C-alpha cells in the first residue's frame, strides 16, 4: 500500500476521533452499486477489500480508509445518436422544428432510457488520517478527486475541520527562486523537470531533460513566469513532483524505502498491507514536515 500521490489537508484542531468511532460513522455511508437509473454512487469500502470487513485499518495512530465510486458509462455519442433519431422523427412526422428546451427534455428522457443498459465502472481512492501529526492525506492526482473524498468523510463524521495548508512563503515563489539561484533547499534535491506558468495569462511551458540553469530557462523567470510543478527528491528516499498548491504527485519510493519494506516478513496480504502502510506513512510524515519547513512553516504557526 504505497500512495502514488498525496494531497494533504491539515486538521485545525487535535484529532480525537477513535478508530471505533470512525468505523461506526463510515458504516452509515457504505458503498453500493448503481441502481438502474443512477449515474453514480460513492461510499466506503474496506481498505483490505475482500480480505477484511473493517472500514478502518489502524496502524500506530494512523487510520486508513477507502472510498469507492461507481459510474455508469454512457458515451455522449450514444446519447446524441439516439437524440438525433427521436428529434428527426418528430420534425418529419410533425412538420415542425424541435426547439432547444424540448430537445433538452428529450435528451433527459434518452439518458433515463439508456442508463439501465450502460456499463458500470468502479474506482477506489485511499486516504488516511494521521492522528498524531494532524494530517488527512488522500491518494488523488486531482484536487477535485481529493475534495470528493474529503466531502464524503465530512458527510459521514458530520464535522471535519481540515483545510489545505498555507505556508508563510508561497511555494511557486520559492520554487522559482530555487531554479533561479541554482540551489536546493535543505533535505531536497531539485530535479531536471518542471513547468513554468505565467500568472497573468496561464501560459504554460514544460521543461524536461533540460539544464534548468540554461539561458532559456532563466529567460522564462525574467519574464515573470513561476515554477509549478517541480521535480524534487527528498533525502534520497522519495522522488516526486510538487505543485504550487503543495500537491505531491508522481511519487516514487527509492531504494532505501523499498528495501526496508522487503525486509519485513509478511505471512498474508493483511500483514503486507499493514507493513507497507506503516513504512509509507512514516516516510510521508517526514517528507511533509520538511516541505513545510522549506516554505517557512505554516501561516497559522507564525
- The confidence score (pLDDT) of residue 302 equals 42
In a domain, 90, yes or no: yes
Question: Do 124 and 224 fall within a single domain?
Answer: no
Question: Do 256 and 112 fall within a single domain?
Answer: no
Question: Do 62 and 80 fall within a single domain?
Answer: no
Question: Do 183 and 214 fall within a single domain?
Answer: yes
In a domain, 1, yes or no: no
Cell 517528507, residue? 287
**H/E run at residue 8:** strand 7-11
Which domain, by its residues, includes 155?
7-72+118-163
Asked whether the beta carbons of 44 and 25 are under 8 A apart, the reply is no
Distance CA 30, CA 22 (A): 13
Question: Do 208 and 255 fall within a single domain?
Answer: yes
In a domain, 2, yes or no: no
Q: Answer whether residue 20 shows pLDDT above 90.
A: yes
H helical segments located in 28-99: 76-94
Question: Do 64 and 177 fall within a single domain?
Answer: no
Distance CA 297, CA 96 (A): 67
The domain total for the chain is 3
Helix (H, G, I), strand (E, B) or coil at 252: strand
In a domain, 145, yes or no: yes
Question: Do 216 and 87 fall within a single domain?
Answer: no
Question: Do 18 and 145 fall within a single domain?
Answer: yes
Cell 428529434, residue? 87
- The confidence score (pLDDT) of residue 301 equals 52
In a domain, 127, yes or no: yes
Which of 106-120, 254-268, 275-289 has the largest mean confidence? Answer: 275-289
pLDDT by residue (tens digit) across 227-266? Answer: 999 999 999 999 999 999 999 999 999 999 999 999 999 8
In a domain, 17, yes or no: yes
Distance CA 165, CA 182 (A): 26
Distance CA 274, CA 139 (A): 17
Question: Do 102 and 150 fall within a single domain?
Answer: no
Percentage of residues of the chain with pLDDT beyond 70 = 99
Question: Do 50 and 100 fall within a single domain?
Answer: no
pLDDT by residue (tens digit) across 179-219? Answer: 998 889 999 999 989 899 988 888 888 888 777 777 888 88
Distance CA 244, CA 7 (A): 12
Question: Do 125 and 93 fall within a single domain?
Answer: no
Question: Do 98 and 132 fall within a single domain?
Answer: no
Segment 44-52 mean pLDDT:
94
In a domain, 187, yes or no: yes
In a domain, 296, yes or no: yes
Among residues 132, 163, 194, which one ends one of the domains?
163
Amino acid at each position: 500500500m504505497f500512495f502514488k500521490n498525496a494531497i494533504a489537508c491539515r486538521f485545525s484542531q487535535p484529532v480525537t476521533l477513535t478508530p471505533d468511532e470512525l468505523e461506526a460513522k463510515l458504516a452509515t455511508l457504505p458503498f453500493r452499486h448503481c441502481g438502474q437509473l443512477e449515474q453514480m454512487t460513492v461510499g466506503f469500502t474496506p481498505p483490505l477489500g475482500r480480505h477484511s470487513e473493517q472500514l478502518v485499518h489502524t496502524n500506530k495512530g494512523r487510520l486508513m480508509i477507502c472510498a469507492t465510486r461507481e459510474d455508469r458509462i454512457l458515451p455522449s455519442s450514444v446519447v446524441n445518436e439516439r437524440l438525433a433519431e427521436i428529434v428527426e422523427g418528430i420534425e418529419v412526422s410533425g412538420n415542425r422544428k424541435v426547439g432547444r428546451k424540448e430537445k433538452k427534455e428529450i435528451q433527459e428522457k434518452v439518458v433515463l432510457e439508456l442508463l439501465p443498459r450502460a456499463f458500470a465502472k468502479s474506482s477506489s481512492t485511499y486516504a488516511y488520517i494521521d492522528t498524531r501529526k494532524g494530517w488527512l492525506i488522500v491518494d488523488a492526482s486531482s484536487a477535485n478527486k481529493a475534495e470528493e473524498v474529503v466531502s464524503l468523510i465530512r458527510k459521514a463524521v458530520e464535522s471535519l475541520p481540515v483545510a489545505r495548508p498555507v505556508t508563510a512563503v508561497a511555494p511557486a515563489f520559492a520554487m522559482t527562486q530555487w531554479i533561479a539561484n541554482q540551489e536546493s533547499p535543505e533535505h531536497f534535491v531539485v530535479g531536471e523537470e518542471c513547468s513554468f506558468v505565467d500568472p497573468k495569462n496561464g501560459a504554460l511551458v514544460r521543461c524536461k531533460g533540460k539544464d534548468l540553469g540554461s539561458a532559456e530557462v532563466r529567460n522564462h523567470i525574467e519574464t515573470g513566469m513561476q515554477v509549478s510543478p517541480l521535480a524534487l527528491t527528498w533525502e534520497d528516499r522519495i522522488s516526486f513532483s510538487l505543485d504550487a498548491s503543495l500537491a505531491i504527485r508522481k511519487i516514487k519510493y527509492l531504494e532505501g524505502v523499498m528495501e526496508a519494506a522487503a525486509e519485513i516478513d509478511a505471512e498474508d496480504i493483511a500483514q503486507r498491507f499493514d507493513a507497507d502502510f506503516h513504512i509509507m506513512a512514516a516516510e510521508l510524515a517526514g517528507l511533509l514536515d520538511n516541505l513545510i519547513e522549506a516554505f517557512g512553516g505554516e501561516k497559522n504557526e507564525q
